[in-house]
Amino acid sequence: MSTSNFKTKCVTQVNCIYCESLLCTRGMKAVLLADTEIELFSTDIPPNRTVDFVASCYSTESCKCKLRDIACLKCGNFVGYHVVAPCKPCLLSCNNGHFWMFNSLNLLLWGDLPELEDSENEGSDSPSEEECIR
């Protein structure tokens, strides 16, 4: 994919699946090159006071990039990783400059919210429509 193709990709708001806290507003769907079965969302802007680093830097078997895991600041759960220092082959390959990666299994996306079910027999414990409006 040429770098000009990244301009047409959609971006979305990314939330933590555990606490629904907003993690970033510019998440772009991506695929892990080392394992194309793993779906990610990436961003080029460092998340502002939504995540923090956990543990030390590490590298994978597939390249020499230095990575560091990130966790949601609100609930502390693991949500992805940051490419602290990309290796030369990765920098030379086609990339979009996104070095903050969020694992899709740990995310809640607006389009993934469940549909509300219309129920004719709502329980008496639920407030009436009028009470909800007040």
Task: Give the helix ranges, DSSP H, for 37-114.
Answer: 88-92
Which pair of structure tokens corresponds to residue 73? 């600041």
Among all chains, which residue has been given the structure tokens 């469940």?
114
Dist. CA 97–CA 76, nearest whole Å: 26
Report residues of the chain scoring pLDDT below 70.
Answer: 1-8, 34, 107-134
Closest CA to 102 of 31, 41, 15: 41
Per-residue pLDDT at 57: 96
At 74-110, the pLDDT tens digits run 999 999 999 999 999 888 887 778 899 998 877 666 5
Domain residues of the chain, as ranges?
A: 9-113
CATH code for the structural domain at 9-113: 2.170.150.20
